[in-house]
Structure 1
Amino acid sequence: MSEATRKSTELMPSGSDPSSARVRIRHFSKSLPMSLLRAREAVMRHFRASLRRFGITEQQWRVLRALTSGESFEVTELAEATFLLAPSLSRILKDLDERGLILRSNLPSDLRRGIISISPVGQNLIERAGVESEAIYREITGRYGSERLAELQGLLRQLEECLEGPEIAG
């Protein structure tokens, strides 16, 4: 019996069919989703205090930043752009609207389709918070290096593009 066969059969209950053997999965700390989450957490840890000073959450900041990249968004487009589920986005938009940070309207051709844009008050908040945000980016860039940061962003874009399309069958 080969070493690989012996190891795989060690994981099976006695008398089991080898075709139904349990697979030994990689260590939790080595999983790609966890590595990405840890890196995200390491980055966001530096931005949270600034966001709190401006009275906004990470998700609210994400929505406001997305709104600065275009004139207006349909709600479904905004959900896709910010990777927020519709129910979460609805609550966030309600809060941002109550605070006067966004403007809501409907498509004249279809009143069911909501259009969201950033208000002048929201734009002012982005400009003020953006000063701190850019200072944090400069600090991160100083620690990690501008070339390495650009390379990392390129690698992440490549990973995203490579995984677009049909899901990988398991």
Structure 2
Amino acid sequence: MALLKAREAVMGRFRPILHAHDLTEQQWRVLRALTSADGFRAGELARLSSISMPSLSRILRALEKRALIERGVEDKDLRAAQISITASGRALIALIAPHSERGYAEITAAFGDERLTTLYRLLDELATCLTDGTEPVEADEE
């Protein structure tokens, strides 16, 4: 319950801007993950964004419909396709990023940089000791 309460408090800083741009938290995680490389296969993207494959498939369809992402040549099997962010997706990230950075700055100011760094480290350790790394832990089903 404490982890969920903290998550809700943190996400309260970000939900309004995501909703203003008609994005879910999961869609935002996927778009952010796609900015870290030229493209990913769905399995890699699921792992990076901590989203299950069934949820990811729905999210990718919605993002593709909005022309925020594109798939490689393998249209018949989404899991085998190379998924990348489009110029429109990058523009949306650029539009939202200053608001997101402000939210992180507010959290850091309220909680303290050193304590936040310790919290990140401890949460990573918790996730590592509770999972074997093969299946993403879904934070929130869509």
What interval of TM-score do these two structures reach, taking the shorter chain for normalisation? Answer: 0.7 to 0.9
Please list, as runs of the form range in 1=range in 2, the aligned pairs for 1:1-170 lying within 5 A after superposition. 34-106=1-73, 112=77, 113-165=80-132
Q: Could you tell me the percent identity over the aligned residues? A: 48
1:164 deviates by 4.1
**How many angstroms apart in 1 are the aligned matches of 2:129 and 2:56?**
28
**How many angstroms apart in 2 are the aligned matches of 1:74 and 1:126?**
20
| TM-score, scaled to structure 2 | 0.84
Give the partner amino acid of 1:152. L
1:163 deviates by 3.2
Structure 2 spans left out of the alignment, 5+ residues: 134-142
Structure 1 spans left out of the alignment, 5+ residues: 1-33
**How many angstroms apart in 2 are the aligned matches of 1:80 and 1:165?**
12
**How many angstroms apart in 2 are the aligned matches of 1:94 and 1:162?**
33
1:161 deviates by 2.8
1:23-79 CA-to-partner distances (Å, cap 9, x unmatched) read xxxxxxxxxxx2222211110011100111122111110110111111111011111
Distance 1:49-1:36 versus aligned 2 partners, 3 A rule: same
- Counterpart in the other structure of 1:22: none
Distance 1:140-1:74 versus aligned 2 partners, 3 A rule: same
Larger RCO (CA under 8 A, 6+ residues apart)? 2
Q: CA RMSD in A?
A: 1.7
1:113-151 CA-to-partner distances (Å, cap 9, x unmatched) read 111011010011011100100011111111111111111
Q: How many corresponding residue pairs?
A: 130
| TM-score, scaled to structure 1 | 0.71
